[in-house]
Amino acid sequence: MRYFSLKTLLIATLSLGCTLSSFAENAYWTELGSQSVYIQQVNGRSKQTLKFIDFKEGMLITEITIDGSVGEMSLPVNKSMVKTLRLNLDVMQKANKLIQRGNYAGAVKVLRPKVYPLVKFTEVPDLFSQLHSPVRSLISSLISAGELAEADDLLGRISLDKVDIKYSQLSIQLMNAYLAEEAFKAAGRIAGQLPKSGVYASNIAEVIKTADALRGAGEYEAVIPLYREIESTVPVNVRKNVRMWLAYSLVLANRVNEASPMIDSMEEPAPEDRLFSLYKLLQGSREHRNKQYSEALDVLTRGFVRAQTSYVWVPEMLYLIGDCYARAEDPTAARNVWSEITALYPESPWAKRATESLSKLPKPQPAPATT
């Protein structure tokens, strides 16, 4: 049977704003996902083939056939037991060579038939690396090959909060691939699905990066629930920062009535505090949204002079300052500010916005000739 690339299906579904549940059925999963997994147990000279049925309460539940009779065995997942188990994964050597050559599509083709049936057993502890390494190799190769929808489908079948954090890292790889394709809603969904507490706390930094990218892309409604979620999970010293970004996103989403109580309840940081300029961005954006452009320019400028160029919020602060100048019919000042964004922060999403805004300004008039 021949299958079409799911990359094409991804683009179509994302353009309609669909969620993962509405992706076209993964034809590979339909064919391969339910296939049986057999494990060979080797104890000295004794070998027996077991059918992997389930994993529960720390035990591998297997089925064995002896003299035509079928019985069940429970095997504890520990180092000594794992050493006796063998999965038939003779394709891994060929797949690894293809991956080393950068032939990810070829590796995917080799891995699919053997690895798909393993996905349903990923809650087995990572100690059983024979199972997990192939699954992660397949998902990583899918992402590298641009088959994002298929990788998304497989990761959606894995309980990320019950498996090793390496699966979260694959989700982050997928999330970044979505961001690169400007599939912002899909990236936001992945960020929301990532576990963020306990051993998964390191995921929070990546979620914050994605939230920043979503905010820069104007996806405020997608980013607001992310900030709400991580506000309660980040360390106390970071919580104030996240709360400011949440309030800021509410302002930008035209939900000023929700943001204002949060802003008014915040204590203004000292001018030498790193968060002072962020606080001024928050205040200034509210004034800007309320069309009080003169007041917004004053507040934003006071924040900017206290900022360092390395602060992540400086590009958007400059963008709003430029917009205030443009609305005050001072195109020269607006052009200077927006040009600074494109020169100093060319990779920032705000540079793209600044470029678009620059194109709408009236062209500068040449200086009058002198006699």
**Each residue's pLDDT tens digit, 97-147:** 999 999 999 999 999 999 999 999 999 999 999 999 999 999 999 999 999
**Do 283 and 302 touch, CB atoms closer than 8 A?**
no
First to last CA, the chain: 81
Q: What percent of the chain has pLDDT over 70?
A: 91
**Do 27 and 116 touch, CB atoms closer than 8 A?**
no
Pair of tokens at residue 344: 């100093």
> How many other β-carbons are positioned within 10 Å of the β-carbon of residue 226?
23
SS3 at position 318: helix
CA pair distance 248, 256, nearest whole angstrom: 9
**pLDDT tens per residue, range 195-208:** 998 899 899 889 98
Residue 3 binned pLDDT confidence (cut-offs 50, 70, 90): very low
Phi then psi dihedrals of residue 29, to 5 deg: -65, -40
**pLDDT tens per residue, range 53-111:** 888 888 888 888 766 677 888 888 888 888 888 888 889 999 999 999 999 999 999 99
The predicted model gives 314-319 an average pLDDT of 94
User: Above 70 in pLDDT, residue 155?
Assistant: yes
Element (H, E) at 183: none
β-bridge mates for residue 243, sequence order? none
What secondary structure does DSSP assign to 87-146, as a single string?
Answer: E--TTHHHHHHHHHTT-HHHHHHHHHHHHGGGGGGTTS-TT-HHHHHHHHHHHHHHHHTT
The predicted model gives 224-231 an average pLDDT of 88
